[in-house]
Chains A and B, each alone.
Chain A
Amino acid sequence: MASSFKQIEDKLKTEAKKLLKTGQVSVVLAYGKGYDDNHPMPYIAKLPSDADNIVFNEYCTHNLARYLVRYPKGTKIAVAVKAADSRAVIQLIQEEKVKREDLILLGLPAYGMKNSKTGEIIDSQTTCGLYNPVLYDTLLGEEVHGQPVVSPYDVLAQYEAMDKDARFEFWKKEFDKCIRCYACRKACPMCYCDPCFIDQNNPRWGEKSPQSHGNLMYHLTRFHHLAGRCIDCGECSRACPVDIPLYLFHKKVAKECEEMFGQASGMRIDDKPVLVNFRVDDSDKILE
């Protein structure tokens, strides 16, 4: 029997308070109360008394690994991680953006997470669908046993049934909706480039105006920058105010990477990002 959200919340509060009190960390990244119960917010606890404001429920979908790169190197941080979030932390460690020894990972074994806009369950749909964090120091609740019955790639069925031209038409139509608010890249834990290519003036890689070709340039470049790095948390799609299903492309690329290189992103600290690593037995499928 898995732990309830309330049980996890209580443990998260206790653990955060302990870590801040003993000075093991200076910051705890967790969730706090939003304007109502269905809209919790990422919350940054700095004092032991802040820990009382922590909440955890099925709407705490945000990926807190997003905030790690904001802190100066060497800051001791405890971060609450669900499955995909822990993969993001691992990926950031692989990419040397954060150090394992600076982090305390508070694992949240949770399933049945819901999108606060639609109320729909997101597990395996827009997320990787794992129940337990891949890496943690303390698991705040009982480990969930068993494997997800649905593969995270099942949602691709309809997309994969389309041929090349249909896919291009599909994305063109979706990207025409884009208003270039950049919520996708800002919500993404792996989008930490400063400056982002699309913000550069000289040279300029893409137009600022929200037109088809500029939107395509922005999104396709972002998709490819995330190849082999996206950990399938689905935050980009949930952040989008016009509901562009960005997760489909990320999942598709993740699936191809996994098939070609036998490695999913953010699963082991010792791995190297697939597109950075070279092995003599690497698949040549991409050249065929």
Chain B
Amino acid sequence: MLKKTTIDKLPDLAAHLMEQGTLLAPVQEAAGFNFQVIADAKQVDLNFHNTVLSPKAAFFPQMEDFVRYQTGKSILEAVPVELNLKPTFLFGVRPCDVKSFTIMDIHFSGTGLVDPYWQKRRQAATIFGYAFDLDQPAQAEEFYKTLGIGAADPDGSDVFMIRKGGDLLLKGVTLKGEKLLTQLSLLTAASADEEKYFEDYIIRGRDFKTRFTFLADKNIAKKLEDIFHDSDFWMKVSGACLSCGVCTFVCPNCYCFDICDETLFSQGIRRRVWDACMFTDFTLEASGHNPRTQVFQKLRQKIKHKYSYHVRKYGVISCVGCGRCTKHCPVNIDIFSIVEEAMKA
């Protein structure tokens, strides 16, 4: 059943959720909005387009401690770090980012090998998806329509939210979401008109215009395979690339990590940190050999991983068209344009 509340009452809703667990929601920071653990219910602000960093850190934090140990002591004395998770509410996630979670599930739990950290965090979380504002044009960098994602797709969310003027309409998508909504007493029932508005909005979202190019998964995968050795093409599209890690760190679908031992005096921690295929030491082998030293090789790997290898292996493109990589690239490299050119090459 569709529920509603007003935007003015958002702090009350936030406070209710905070009573039940940890609330993660967009908060205005210096460089833009980002998901933060909410300490003060008034911080929650839905007047954002999308966050600078993707919400992947909610399930795949940039730094995850695995084991604590003391140098010089037996390995038997090492202590695994336990995850003590409270129920988590991830509030205000845009449809394309929600989609990214389902793609990331493949790597962290879908292939038979389960990453317990990812899985536990996923299970503890209730996702509140939040439709884009269809009355505002999409940003120049976004292209989720190309990848078949609507601006108001509720798939993957537990609760889906659509804003209607000063009201916020909420609908339970999964059982977990529905159950939660019935518990939130400050929500009122929505009218039949609002019910219709909600359903229409989802359909309207599918036709919402972002940059678009026709991409059949198999075609692009094959095409990129065919031009693997076309170094001229890759050098041309990567000419400006600085090989920094911005694109991968802001990406909701990049999941490469490094496991390292970090010690301070005798205290050691084995932890996982984000890594990026754009970094020099990413492919550095113990022998000293590095199979990918040139910038064009690194950018080719990034594009091909998302649009070719991933499709071949898992049948889905590992990109949701959120446009963050393009928006934050220091030299304005645009992944959409590269894919478009690759199709023409």
Contacts and interface: CB of A to CB of B under 8 A. Distances in A.
Contacts of B63: 209-211
Interface in A238-266: 238-243
A199 interface: yes
B140, B273, B330: which has the most chain A beta carbons within 10 Å?
B330
A36 B238 CA distance: 18
Nearest to B262: A207
Given A179-B62, A201-B281, A44 B245 contact: no
Nearest to B247: A181
A39 B328 CA distance: 11
B258 A41 contact: no
B140 A182 contact: no
Given A35-B326, A40-B332, A209-B262, A186 B244 contact: yes
Interface string A218-252: 00000000000000000100111111000000000
A210 B62 CA distance: 8
Contact of B260 (A34, A182, A208): A208
A39 B323 CA distance: 14
Contacts, number: 104
Given A44-B239, A210-B63, A62 B331 contact: yes
A116 interface: yes
A42 B240 contact: yes
A187 B332 CA distance: 12
B245 A181 contact: yes
A182 B330 CA distance: 11
B242 interface: yes
B173 interface: no
Contacts of A181: 244-246, 248-249, 276
Given A40-B332, A41-B333, A239 B244 contact: yes
B250 A241 contact: yes
- B interface, how many residues as a size bin? 35 or more
B244 A35 contact: no
B271 interface: yes
B331 A243 contact: no
Interface string B177-206: 000000000000000000000000000000
B210 interface: no
A218 to B, nearest CB: 13
Interface string A155-191: 0000000000000000000000101111101110000
Contacts of A40: 332
A209 B62 CA distance: 8
Contact of B244 (A62, A183, A242): A183
A66 interface: yes
Contact of B242 (A116, A187, A242): A187
A210 B279 contact: no
Contacts of A235: 330
Contact of A183 (B240, B330, B336): B330
Nearest to B259: A208
A183 B246 CA distance: 6
A195 interface: yes
B65 to A, nearest CB: 9
Nearest to B275: A208
A182 B281 contact: no
Contacts of B53: 179, 241
B289 to A, nearest CB: 15
A239 B260 CA distance: 27
Interface string B308-345: 00000000000000000010101111101100000000
Contacts of A243: 30-31
B265 to A, nearest CB: 13
Contacts of A240: 31
Contact of B31 (A116, A183, A242): A242
Given A179-B62, A201-B281, A186 B273 contact: no
A41 B240 contact: yes
Given A179-B53, A181-B249, A195-B281, A186 B31 contact: no
24 contacts: A36-B140, A41-B333, A62-B331, A116-B332, A179-B53, A179-B249, A180-B245, A181-B248, A183-B242, A185-B244, A186-B244, A186-B330, A194-B280, A201-B281, A208-B258, A209-B62, A209-B262, A210-B63, A210-B273, A235-B330, A239-B246, A239-B330, A242-B30, A242-B31
Interface of B: 29-31, 52-53, 62-63, 140-141, 239-240, 242-246, 248-250, 258, 260, 262, 271, 273, 276, 279-281, 295, 326, 328, 330-334, 336-337
Given A177-B30, A183-B242, 8 more contacts: A43-B240, A179-B62, A181-B276, A186-B244, A199-B279, A208-B273, A209-B260, A241-B328
